[in-house]
């Protein structure tokens, strides 16, 4: 058969394929291969035919053979890349899309999927370039603008993310995921009403859309909007037990005091969002180094509670035995605490512009032994960095108060109050027990500014209850309990923080419904850290939230001399304040039922002698108990780091460990 006749045969085969006459097209293609076993077009047609039949492996083999020929089409390379992409062979997919674009630099589908592949691999700038070129060719594809929105979110450029989500929605008004992501970005910008409307639209379009029900509840909680809350919570419990993707882990902490449900939620979320990524391979076993290399990863090396707690820890680490590295992926706010932090590390590395994979590669290159995630599932987290495995030992500490639900986080740092022996099974990590969980800065200063009550909007006389916890931590039950406390304590006021006007107005309305006058709720403004601490000294008793306790705000209050009354529950987040009170030897302020909590608050307000005795004991214990003894905390933490590495060097897997260091 002449080349012209072979070409004609393949044209006939292709025509029959297009009219779904697959049997004729397949026979003609096989006939062509008998004449020329390397014919690219014949292999291409057979790949498409087998793909239509569901014979993916045969389709892959024919595409592979076609791709090896010099005259293979851009479509062959693209389809082969798509198969690689769908099978998770990302580097091979990227190579195929790049080769396809060498044939046709304006091949839209290859540009789009190359952008997606770059993004999955963590190469965000390359992804942006591919998507931008694709937009210049076609600007009518909703998925492309959605992907650009996600990319700009990753690059921390929320306004550009919003533009692209909005364009995706303009092109496809029923694009539920675009509505959802637009809602998330709006809420990140604190435009809660607009964000909530987007979430509701997404849920209306797709009642099963991943995690949106939880997003809606969390925004409502930020605004103290509690209508129908218990119905939402019951629905979430039911869906979690069915392992539905209904809520992300962080919002759940403030809603349900159930460590088993929190574990299930974290597992679902990790499996969906941050599965283990094996692309970098295993980390080869390392010999013992002169110093243990410990790296702390955070978006919060700035004016942030995590940094206020940990600053002195980083300064006090034994730099002779430990090399202490910071991986910072949050904004540089040019604050005094940022400068202090930068000076406290052996190396301070700003990795904002690096992809997650590049951060992981850098950590491996630096031979980090122990990597500590200080953020977990909190705002601006980059959990996927740890999915690549950045160090032989990976640890979760202080930012997220619960299990990460992931096999690649080896240890969770805690104490015996927060995670009793019979609760360890609710955490996938092995527990590294310290004498006291929370790091603190014993050098933090309290302003000497002479505040008066009137300066803060407080009445000149009467008992001042306070709670400066975030609004999403306030549940209706605890708020109603506060109202009963105010009702039983004449002339008392409740000093609160309101993140937004909606929260403030809703709390005032709820107080009125409970018969409490609006002037008995006083809302404090944001103050510089030293003045914020001084403000506590004009208060009489801190009322904690449940099930998500005060953390930094609890230790701040105790440092300023203000007793904290807490309600201890079952989960990590509901036992943190109890841990802090135990560490400063004030167990009298730990309650276990709402009634006990209410009665004790009323009693302390009515019994100034008892309250004075607690304040005296707090002042006495402040500098002698473990809570604010940062040198002791640092040595305790270093001792568990030693234990982690000791097990690693012996070839032993992670296991529950405990610091045996004693105070004194």
pLDDT tens digits for 77-127?
Answer: 888 888 888 878 889 999 999 989 999 999 999 999 999 999 988 788 999
pLDDT at 383 over 60: yes
Polymer length in residues for the chain: 664
| pLDDT value for 359 | 95
pLDDT digits (tens, 9 = 90+) for 488-504: 999 999 999 999 999 99
DSSP 8-class letter at 422: G
Listed by start position, the domains of the chain span: 292-434, 454-628
| pLDDT value for 81 | 86
| pLDDT value for 74 | 82
| pLDDT value for 203 | 94
Q: How far apart are CA 629 and CA 651, in angstroms?
A: 34
Domain 454-628 sits in CATH at 3.40.50.2000
Output the 3-class SS for 432-472: EEECCCCCCCCCCCCCCCCCCCHHHCCCCCCCEEEECCCHH
pLDDT at 419 over 90: yes
pLDDT digits (tens, 9 = 90+) for 327-347: 999 989 999 999 999 999 999
Lowest mean pLDDT among 25-29, 165-169, 460-464, 658-662: 25-29
Report for 38-52, 130-144, 440-454: range of highest mean pLDDT: 130-144
pLDDT at 630 over 90: yes
Mean pLDDT of all residues in 530-546 = 97
- Assess whether the region 292-434 and the region 454-628 belong to the same CATH fold: yes
Class of the 292-434 domain?
Answer: alpha beta
| pLDDT value for 30 | 66
Lowest mean pLDDT among 78-82, 213-217, 359-363, 518-522: 78-82
Extract the tokens encoding 26. 């397949």
**Residue 639: its H or E element:** helix 630-649
**Helix, coil or strand: residue 219:** helix
pLDDT digits (tens, 9 = 90+) for 436-445: 999 999 999 9
Find, among 250, 263, 256, the residue nearest to 236 by Cα.
Answer: 256
pLDDT at 553 over 80: yes
| pLDDT value for 429 | 98
Helix (DSSP H) and strand (DSSP E) numbers for the chain:
28, 14
pLDDT digits (tens, 9 = 90+) for 229-266: 999 999 999 999 999 999 999 999 999 999 999 999 99
Which of 255 and 76 is assigned the larger pLDDT?
Answer: 255
pTM of the model: 0.87
| pLDDT value for 87 | 79
| pLDDT value for 623 | 84
pLDDT at 5 over 60: no
Find, among 569, 586, 495, 501, the residue nearest to 532 by Cα.
Answer: 495
pLDDT at 219 over 60: yes
For 366-451, where are the alpha helices, taking DSSP H only? 384-387
């Amino acid at each position: 058969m002449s080349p012209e006749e072979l070409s004609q045969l393949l044209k006939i085969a292709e025509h029959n394929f297009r009219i779904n006459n697959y049997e004729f097209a397949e026979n003609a293609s096989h006939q062509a291969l008998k004449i020329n076993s390397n014919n690219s077009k014949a292999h291409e047609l057979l790949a498409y035919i087998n793909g239509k039949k569901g014979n993916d492996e045969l389709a892959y083999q024919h595409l592979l053979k076609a791709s090896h020929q010099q005259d293979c089409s851009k479509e062959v390379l693209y389809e082969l890349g798509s198969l690689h992409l769908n099978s998770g062979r990302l580097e091979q997919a990227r190579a195929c899309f790049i080769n396809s674009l060498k044939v046709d630099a304006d091949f839209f589908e290859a540009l789009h999927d190359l952008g997606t592949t770059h993004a999955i691999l963590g190469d965000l700038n390359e992804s942006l370039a591919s998507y931008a070129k694709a937009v210049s060719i076609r600007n009518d594809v909703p998925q492309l603008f959605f992907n650009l929105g996600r990319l700009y979110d990753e690059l921390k450029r929320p306004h550009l993310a919003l533009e692209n989500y909005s364009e995706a929605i303009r092109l496809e008004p029923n694009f539920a995921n675009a509505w959802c992501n637009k809602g998330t970005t709006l809420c990140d910008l604190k435009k809660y009403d607009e964000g909530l409307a987007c979430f509701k639209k997404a849920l209306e379009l797709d009642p099963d859309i991943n995690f949106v029900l939880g997003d809606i509840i969390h925004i409502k909680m930020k605004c103290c909007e509690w209508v129908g809350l218990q119905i939402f919570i019951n629905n979430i419990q039911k869906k979690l037990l069915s392992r539905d993707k209904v809520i992300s882990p962080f919002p759940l902490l403030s809603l349900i005091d159930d460590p088993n449900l929190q574990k299930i939620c974290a597992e679902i979320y990790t499996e969906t969002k941050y599965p283990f990524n094996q692309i970098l391979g295993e980390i080869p076993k390392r010999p013992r180094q002169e110093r243990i290399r410990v790296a702390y990863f955070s978006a919060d090396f700035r004016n942030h509670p995590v940094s206020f707690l940990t600053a002195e820890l980083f300064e006090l680490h034994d730099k002779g035995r430990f090399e202490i590295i910071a991986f910072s992926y949050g904004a540089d706010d040019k604050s005094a605490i940022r400068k202090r932090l930068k000076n406290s590390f052996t190396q301070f590395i700003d990795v904002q512009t690096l992809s997650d994979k590049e951060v992981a590669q850098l950590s491996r290159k630096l031979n980090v032994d122990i990597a500590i995630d200080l953020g977990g599932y909190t705002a601006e987290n980059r959990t996927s960095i740890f999915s690549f495995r950045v160090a032989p030992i990976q640890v979760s500490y202080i930012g997220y108060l619960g299990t990460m639900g992931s096999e690649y986080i080896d240890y969770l740092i805690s104490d015996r109050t927060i995670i009793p022996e019979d609760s360890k099974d609710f955490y996938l990590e092995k527990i590294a027990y310290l004498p006291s969980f929370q790091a603190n800065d014993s050098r933090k200063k309290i302003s000497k500014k002479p505040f008066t009550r009137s300066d803060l909007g407080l009445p000149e006389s009467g008992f001042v209850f306070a709670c400066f916890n975030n609004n999403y931590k306030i549940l209706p039950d605890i708020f109603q309990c506060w109202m009963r406390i105010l009702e039983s304590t004449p002339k008392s006021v409740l000093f609160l923080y309101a993140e937004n006007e909606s929260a403030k107005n809703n709390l005032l309305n709820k107080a009125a419904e409970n018969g409490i006058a609006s002037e008995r709720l006083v809302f404090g403004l944001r103050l510089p850290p030293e003045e914020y601490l001084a403000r506590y000294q004009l208060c009489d008793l801190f009322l904690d939230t449940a099930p998500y306790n005060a953390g930094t705000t609890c230790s701040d209050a105790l440092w300023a001399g203000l007793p904290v009354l807490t309600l201890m529950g079952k989960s990590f987040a509901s036992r943190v304040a109890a841990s802090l009170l135990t560490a400063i030897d004030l167990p009298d302020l730990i309650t276990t039922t709402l009634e006990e909590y209410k009665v004790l608050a009323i009693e302390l307000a009515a019994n100034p002698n008892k309250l004075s005795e607690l304040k005296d004991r707090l002042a006495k214990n402040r500098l002698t108990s473990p809570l604010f003894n940062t040198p002791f905390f640092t040595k305790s933490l270093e001792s568990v780091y030693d234990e982690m590495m000791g097990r690693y060097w012996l070839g032993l897997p992670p296991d529950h460990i405990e610091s045996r260091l004693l105070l004194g």
